[in-house]
Homo-oligomer: A and B are copies of this chain.
Amino acid sequence: MERIIMAHGSGGRLSHQLVQDLFQKYLGNDYLNQMNDATILPGSTKLALTTDSFVVNPIFFRGGDIGKLAVCGTINDLSVTGARPRYLSLAVILEEGFLIEDLERIVQSIAETSQKAGVPIVCGDTKVVERGSADKIFINTTGVGFLQEHLVGPEYIQPGDYLLISGTIGDHGIAILADREGLEFGTPVVSDCAPLNHLIESFYGPGVRCMRDPTRGGVGTTLNEIARQAKVSIVLEEESLPLNPGVEGACGMLGLDPLYLANEGKVLAVVAPEAVEEVLAKMKAHPLGEQAAVIGRIGEKDPGLVLLKTPLGGKRVVGMLEGEHLPRIC
């Protein structure tokens, strides 16, 4: 009999398969089938809705904690869909014996992040399960946003558009790995976990065609999703990918590909040629976008493929994440 394996939660190929074969099969409808970071709902005020459960291990890590992550993750999913995040729900599952002191730290961090982003928690739920029936604390946040007038999405992508990222890649993945395994690297790596709504607000406009936040599965998997949905090829320039020295070192040492490491405070943006200079400048002007860069370009209409151009001029196909090398990254 088939059983759930860790790779079903990787955000990579097996996650997509599970969603398709099970959830979409039985629950599929025009909303669910949008398969974007958040779902756009019709009405006089167009709403966006998104949900995420967080099971990150460890719950406190360099650069954040499960509470901060839960607030940022959902705010970011709404923001990249072209919505202004307005309301969050918060549901926690606690393991019997969990320290109330730790819970308090997490709730304080949720409060701080929610205030900083300007998105209030408006409803909540608390459940408790017996010792050994959950690992410390799991958090679900669901977010409601109001769609902006200018729309973005893979359907607006055109050949020749540029691909931008708001900063270095892989920081969250390496930070979690380091804390979990007790690793120390020459240059310390801190999670990039941050609410992106203000950064995105600063460069949002007509030239922006599509945005995504490359979390689980990393930039590699996220670009594959975009390429398939937009039915285009994407050509990445390996040399232009911004990398922190610590992440570069850790990847070399551990044999990890930064393209598959999770990010929790980065936005990928596909931008029209005429707007690319302005968007890049605005990104760089924001504290969360100082290391923004153009990292690639949209190729011809093509059955969705992501290619990486190496400094020596070679090209290799970048697939979706296979298997699972870093479970419980978010």
Q: Footprint of B on A, CB under 8 Å?
A: 1-9, 15, 18-19, 22-23, 25-27, 29, 31-32, 38-39, 41, 43-45, 47, 49-55, 57, 86-87, 89-101, 103-104, 107-108, 110-111, 114, 120-130, 132-135, 138, 140, 142, 144, 327-328
Contact = CB atoms under 8 A, between A and B. Distances in A.
Contact of A3 (B38, B92, B98, B124): B98
Contacts of A110: 26-27
23 contacts: A3-B97, A3-B98, A4-B96, A4-B98, A8-B126, A9-B129, A23-B107, A27-B121, A27-B124, A29-B122, A31-B120, A49-B122, A49-B123, A50-B123, A51-B125, A51-B140, A55-B93, A89-B142, A91-B142, A93-B93, A129-B135, A134-B134, A138-B138
A274 B130 CA distance: 48
A89 to B, nearest CB: 4
Nearest to A128: B9
A29 B125 CA distance: 16
Nearest to A98: B4
Given A31-B87, A49-B144, A100-B4, A93 B138 contact: yes
A269 to B, nearest CB: 22
Nearest to A14: B128
A51 B142 contact: yes
Q: How many copies does the complex hold?
A: 2
Given A31-B123, A93-B138, 11 more contacts: A1-B99, A5-B96, A6-B128, A8-B128, A9-B94, A27-B107, A31-B120, A32-B120, A51-B124, A134-B135, A134-B138
A114 B45 contact: no
Contact of A27 (B5, B19, B90, B94): B90
Contacts of A95: 4
Given A96-B5, A144-B49, A124 B328 contact: no
Contacts of A57: 133
A275 B5 CA distance: 56
